[in-house]
């Protein structure tokens, strides 16, 4: 088990490194460099930067060095929490996304919890009562959840919420708390605003979760150990919960890792529609404005999130599946 974990952690580190290179590539991608953009920005505002001045600036920022040197310098900065300057916001990247990152995590986790809380029982019901009317209804709703984009549902909820209930469902905070410092009241306000975005963001994940759980469980229900458990006199409902559901949970648990970053990146448009203060909309703007340090940083963080999520699901898998736990013992 230790060997397994160490192997996974080493793999995670290597992946993180690869992600960081990719992020650096994104930062380097546009023609020219930061100084070119700086010169362009300066000349737009009327002042001229001489060629000599530009060379000095390049030396100062190390931009005359080969790419790999630049990469390691950048990495060194990133490790210290210095993500560079956002050109669009004219503030350090860390400052721009700091608060939003926390809120993004909260919204995503809420969506994840929602996904699980509903997908599990519905998936189980659907498999145990295969081909029942309930199963057909659930499967149908599941397909809708997969096929209809989240922002569409967000728009519909915004519209109907406003029209019939006079509700303003957008945002994560009420007006009086939006700019206020953190307090108990603000946290409660957030909790009240959370369910609807979490529901919308979790919907496609939930639809997928139901399908995965249903398919896994249908496979497991046919296994002989289910029949032997019944033959021992266990109550059928308990048999299903203790044995096949338990086994079917494993592949389900291993999807958390992928679901988390999927929710974050999938939330961009929904966040725009619902005006959620998460990193999604910022990433979109940064990409449009070629604000490369900001975009690169967000990509880097999303990548790390995926790696951490995958590692987490691996650990969960180890904890719940003895077949992996005891492998190589």
Residues that bind another protein (CB under 8 A): 223-225, 227-236, 242-243, 246-247, 250, 320-323, 326
199: nearest Cα among 100, 253, 102, 119 = 119
Closer of 178 and 326 to another protein (Cβ): 326
CB of 257 to another protein, least distance (A): 20
Closer of 62 and 322 to another protein (Cβ): 322
Question: Do the beta carbons of residue 96 and residue 294 sit within 8 Å?
Answer: yes
CB of 256 to another protein, least distance (A): 18
**CA angle, residues 26, 27, 33, in degrees to nearest 5:** 130
Alpha helices in the chain, H assignment, sequence order = 2-28, 34-44, 51-61, 67-79, 93-128, 133-147, 150-165, 175-178, 184-193, 195-221, 224-231, 236-242, 244-253, 256-266, 268-273, 279-288, 292-320, 322-325
Whole-angstrom distance, CA of residue 211 vs CA of residue 204: 11
Closer of 192 and 235 to another protein (Cβ): 235
CB of 323 to another protein, least distance (A): 6
Closer of 186 and 230 to another protein (Cβ): 230
Whole-angstrom distance, CA of residue 78 vs CA of residue 8: 23
Closer of 33 and 219 to another protein (Cβ): 219
CB of 316 to another protein, least distance (A): 13
CB of 133 to another protein, least distance (A): 15
């Amino acid at each position: 088990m230790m060997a397994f974990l160490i192997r996974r952690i080493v793999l995670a580190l290597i992946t993180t490194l690869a992600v960081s290179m990719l992020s650096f590539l994104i930062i380097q991608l546009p023609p020219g460099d930061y100084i070119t953009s700086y010169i362009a920005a300066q000349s737009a505002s009327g002042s001229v930067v001489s060629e000599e001045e530009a060379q000095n600036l390049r030396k100062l920022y190390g931009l005359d060095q080969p790419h790999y040197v630049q990469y390691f310098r950048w990495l060194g900065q990133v490790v210290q929490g210095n993500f560079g300057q956002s050109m669009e916001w004219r503030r350090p990247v860390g400052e721009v996304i700091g608060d939003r990152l926390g809120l993004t995590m909260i919204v995503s986790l809420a969506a994840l919890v929602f996904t699980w809380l509903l997908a599990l029982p519905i998936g189980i019901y659907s498999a145990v009562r295969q081909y029942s009317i309930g199963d057909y209804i659930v499967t149908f709703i599941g397909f809708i959840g997969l096929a209809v984009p989240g922002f569409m549902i967000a728009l519909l909820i915004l519209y109907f919420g406003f029209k019939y209930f006079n509700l303003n469902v957008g945002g994560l905070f009420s007006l009086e708390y939006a700019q206020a410092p953190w307090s108990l009241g603000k946290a409660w306000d957030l909790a009240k605003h959370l369910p609807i975005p979490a529901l919308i963001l979790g919907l496609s994940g939930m639809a997928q979760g139901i399908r995965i759980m249903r398919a896994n469980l249908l496979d497991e229900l046919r296994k002989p150990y289910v029949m032997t458990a019944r033959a021992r006199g266990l109550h059928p409902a308990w048999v299903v919960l203790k044995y096949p559901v338990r086994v079917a949970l494993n592949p389900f648990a291993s999807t958390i890792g992928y679901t988390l970053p999927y929710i974050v990146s999938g939330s961009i448009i929904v966040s725009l529609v619902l005006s959620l203060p998460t990193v999604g909309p910022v990433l979109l703007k940064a990409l449009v404005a070629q604000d490369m340090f900001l975009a690169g940083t967000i990509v880097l963080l999303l990548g790390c999130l995926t790696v951490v999520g995958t590692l987490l699901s691996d650990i969960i898998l180890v904890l719940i599946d003895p077949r992996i736990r005891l492998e190589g013992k």
